[in-house]
Structure 1
Amino acid sequence: MTITCCIEYRIDPFQRAAFADYARNWLTIIPACGGDLLGYWLPHEGTNDIALALISFESLAAYEAYRARLRTDPAGAANFRLAQDQRFIVSERRTFLEPVT
């Protein structure tokens, strides 16, 4: 069974470029730590402060192992610090999805 973690970010719309840099940093970090990154999306029309990320895993246990590796990964820690220092993420929510088809 595959699960997909949908991360909904509320971002500072005036720091859109900073969030884009943050998202691009994950392109190599997430796969190295065990996630299957489907992508990051910035708002285009409508709401200007919601961005999304989709990352798939074999199971919830695989997600938990990924999170543990991510916490100890130097590049991952640096990217988390970047977000904290620049404060372009206001909040985030995670929803776990399973495929229907």
Structure 2
Amino acid sequence: MSITCVIRYEIDPFQLSTFKQYAENWGKIIPRCGGHLIGYFLPHEGTNNVAWGLIAFESLAAYEAYRVRLKSDDEGHANFTMAQERRFILKEERSFVEVVDGTLGIEPINKEGAL
């Protein structure tokens, strides 16, 4: 994948379980609409009101085609509507990034030096 859309959410920390359901719903919708879902991430320690979603695409054109399919997807529309009605997302920001070759998916090395 050549670009990744990084979505930063400011969420209501008292509705964490609702955001979790919202994110889980995207697990079926995003791949069906053409995005490579890397994952959604909830706050665990530290800041309790920031969550992340990462979705990869071959290009910005592929992202635009995905957005068109997403808008016509019934489950996608229902998920957006649920978020608007329950108001657990306070702010959403999108950035598009590219991976630095040789830095993604590298497994840790144990103490003996082997993988």
Normalising TM by the smaller chain, what interval? over 0.9
Matches of 1:45 and 1:21 in 2, distance apart?
20
Matches of 2:91 and 2:64 in 1, distance apart?
21
SS in 1 for 2:7: strand
Higher RCO (C-alpha 8 Å, min separation 6): 1
- Residue 82 (structure 1) aligns with: 82
Between structure 1 and structure 2, the one with the greater Rg is 2
Aligned CA RMSD, in angstroms, stands at 0.7
Amino acid at match of 1:84: Q
Q: What are the Cα deviations for residues 14-68 of structure 1, in whole angstroms up to 9, with x where unaligned?
A: 0000000000000010000000000000001111100000000000000011011
- Residue 41 (structure 1) aligns with: 41
Residue 17 (structure 1) aligned with residue 17 (structure 2): yes
- Residue 51 (structure 1) aligns with: 51
- Residue 62 (structure 1) aligns with: 62
Amino acid at match of 1:49: N
Give the CA deviation at 1:85. 0.6
Amino acid at match of 2:33: C
For structure 2, the residue ranges without an aligned partner over 5 or more in a row are: 102-115
For structure 1, the residue ranges without an aligned partner over 5 or more in a row are: none
Give the CA deviation at 1:75. 0.4
Q: Which runs of 4+ in 1 moved over 4 A?
A: none
